[in-house]
Amino acid sequence: MLSDLPGHPMMWVLILTEIVTFGLLFITFAVTGAVHPEVFAAGRAQLDPTLGGMNTIILITSGWLAALAVEACAAERRRRTRLLVAGAILLGCAFAAVKIAEYAAKRRMGIGLETDMFFTLYFLLTGFHLMHVVLGIVILAAVALDASLESLKTGTAFWHMVDLVWVVMFPLVYLVG
């Protein structure tokens, strides 16, 4: 079964582990929100869903560029492959910049990790995801240097996991409530 997946099988073991970890964090967030709906409603009211939505578009577009890079690599179009991976990386950096700006805005409002349960979980969830974005950028940069189809499929699989996690996290954290 693992051999049918694109990229190196060990990356899929890592991806599965990360999805389970994020899933447990999502369940913790949802259950805590159900137990303390007023705290979570107040916390969500202080978030900017426009920034979260913008970051969703950024990551989905980045994932699309990474997928196009895999197609270009399969067609042995090296220059196009590298340009597409570079675009995916730049969008990953844009995501990180938006998230850091969002954190800075919260800090200026006096909001931090210890503010309340909502913001403790918000910063833990989104910070853990941001670490994965940074790792994904490093992985994409490494596979762009190699540019073998196997490496690119492996790196892109990780990048798509990062996308998927955000697509679930955005409505859970910013919208549902």
Tens-place pLDDT, residues 112-137: 999 999 999 999 999 999 999 999 99
**pTM of the full predicted structure?**
0.91
Angstrom distance (rounded) from CA 171 to CA 22: 14
Are 141 and 89 contacting, i.e. CB atoms less than 8 angstroms apart? yes
Domain edges within the chain: 2-175
CATH superfamily of the domain spanning 2-175: Cytochrome c oxidase, subunit III, four-helix bundle (1.20.120.80)
Are 128 and 166 contacting, i.e. CB atoms less than 8 angstroms apart? no
Angstrom distance (rounded) from CA 163 to CA 65: 12
- pLDDT score recorded for residue 67: 96
- pLDDT tens profile 62-87: 999 999 999 999 999 999 999 999 99
- pLDDT score recorded for residue 23: 95
- Low pLDDT (below 50) residues in the chain: none
